[in-house]
Structure 1
């Protein structure tokens, strides 16, 4: 019974990973770069592109690999570049599950792989504009907190958010970043982030008349009026799709607080904290290298309305897709900014396999 139980468990694990025992004995597929996206619209090719389609069609990622038990149910691979592409599904839960499943899959050798998340995000108009792309230096958890309803928040507080291990918004000393209360912030390898930015800072970003019209409504925000460009900027990761100037003020404060004043909130997205958490845990088992993470977020929309407009009106416009004029531009920007990094890593593997920039 005991041996049968062990064999059955092994079979379940192998089938969940998408391979049968005979396949598991073969050498794992070498992977130099994992391109991580969070959603696709419709099919992977030939229709309206989400985050994944540009990679499939342009890099390209022509080979399909079954991935049962995952949101997208398949991976894509470029056998010449040894680049693997995936769609995690939206939200931190999907991301954590997808990355963990991938790291445990015996079909792939990810020990030296670089993970490049290339996805869209909301943009802080104090920091940038729609269709710009930002390489994150810090990822801050915007979902792990105590929260008092704004109607009951003390008048002296800037907002109702406090650390889980605290009772006031700016608890001092600041609680630890990684504890039983959760992972609050990750700092990506600074030299790698600077290297990626240096490689792509002059790459032109998409622009059009519709984007210019949106920019002009933010006349009180100098950074929002600039043309789209590649930049360095930190990301706040939270599952709640928040909107508005007061929430933006909180996000700026929260990022500054958890980075000891070193970080600046530029983009807001959902999945980044889960990517860092999952890869850090799998790194402890030697399956991946957490020093090889890059996160690029391109802006599909602003996270707050222009002066004189209400957040509820902004939400209503976005619900009818009127506020997402930057969707296609942002998915294009994510590919245009991240693909030179992916190609550089993959085509000069003899250098980057053992030497992380």
Structure 2
């Protein structure tokens, strides 16, 4: 499903960074926390917000820093909190290249910095509701697989996906998570994830008339009908914007398979596997700490239609109704929940 391996993007960015290592280095800019968002729809301030704008305006991130080699071209910085903000660009390739460029930037020493990815996502209606915020204990690669066309799926298969390392959906034993065939799952620091969840689990989230109307359509899905809340659940990362009940069942199975029954599918987004791949490789070089990474995904929409609606009709309704059904509440929730954690991390003493 992912067309270009993200490790290739990271390697290219690494070579470019090494080529520029001989240039004169400015004084290091202290960074305690890196806030990572994936897109901005217009300006960084003053218009309809993307993921980045709310952080820029509210944290705030007043200083503009050039960001060569990244999608957005600039970063934002708060010198009092020593928080750096970046918009990576959508998709795992943009994420991997932007994070690698950032880590190799000689202006920063990020060995003891925390990284907090805060972005919007689709949510499984079997897990939670639009407008909710979900801290991810794990990232599962939903883009690397063998895929059999739906018209040719063998009888008895639950779907058309098998591990690249296998030939049947339930290949046993479960192949290695990290191998020559690709990276399939990452587990974030459990203590840090739990700390972030406990710190924010009681944060009240907006519940708008529009969100209530959306929830009401999901009769028979009790978790989807609850008001927005802060949750813990795993994210499936895939560049393909899949949709529908059958694909949702695949994602639930895929998480269960790769976590050997320990994980729970909650959200679906593009960039998380590129984020984890880039940071993991840079951690091997001692440039970042892999135990200081958090992922927060807030639900802008459901990943499957309500009863009585087809997947194609859901896509059409999202397009004709101005975008994701819970877009603005989810953007607001990403900052509302994420900023609590970022501020606390920024107050921690620097260093190991």
Q: TM-score range by the shorter chain?
A: over 0.9
Q: 1:227 aligns to what?
A: 227
Unaligned ranges ≥5, structure 1:
1-11
Q: 2:334 aligns to what?
A: 334
> Residues 78-134 of structure 1, C-alpha deviation per residue, up to 9 Å, x if partnerless?
001110000000000000000010111101010001100000000100000000000
Question: Are residues 1:201 and 2:195 paired?
Answer: no
1:157 counterpart SS class:
coil
Structure 1 CA distance, aligned partners of 2:323 and 2:30?
41
Q: 2:30 aligns to what?
A: 30
TM-score (norm 1): 0.92
1:349 counterpart SS class:
coil
Structure 1 CA distance, aligned partners of 2:134 and 2:113?
22
Q: How does 1:231-310 map to 2 (within 5 A)?
A: 231-310=231-310
Deviation at 1:330, TM superposition (A): 0.2
Q: 2:68 aligns to what?
A: 68
Q: How does 1:168-207 map to 2 (within 5 A)?
A: 168-207=168-207
> Residues 35-80 of structure 1, C-alpha deviation per residue, up to 9 Å, x if partnerless?
0000011000001011011100110000010012321000000001
Contact preservation (8 Å) 2:63, 2:76:
yes
Structure 2 CA distance, aligned partners of 1:43 and 1:205?
26
> Residues 269-288 of structure 1, C-alpha deviation per residue, up to 9 Å, x if partnerless?
00001100000000000100
Q: 1:132 aligns to what?
A: 132
Unaligned ranges ≥5, structure 2:
1-15
Tell me the number of residue pairs that the alignment of Structure 1 and Structure 2 aligns. 337
Deviation at 1:322, TM superposition (A): 4.5
- RMSD between aligned alpha carbons? 1.5
2:224 counterpart SS class:
helix
1:212 counterpart SS class:
helix
Q: 1:111 aligns to what?
A: 111
Structure 2 CA distance, aligned partners of 1:203 and 1:122?
20
> Residues 232-252 of structure 1, C-alpha deviation per residue, up to 9 Å, x if partnerless?
010000000000000000000
TM-score (norm 2): 0.93
Runs of 4+ with >2 A deviation:
12-17, 320-323
Q: 1:160 aligns to what?
A: 160
Contact preservation (8 Å) 1:136, 1:234:
yes
Which of the pair has more CA radius of gyration? 1
Contact preservation (8 Å) 2:17, 2:104:
no
Deviation at 1:27, TM superposition (A): 3.1
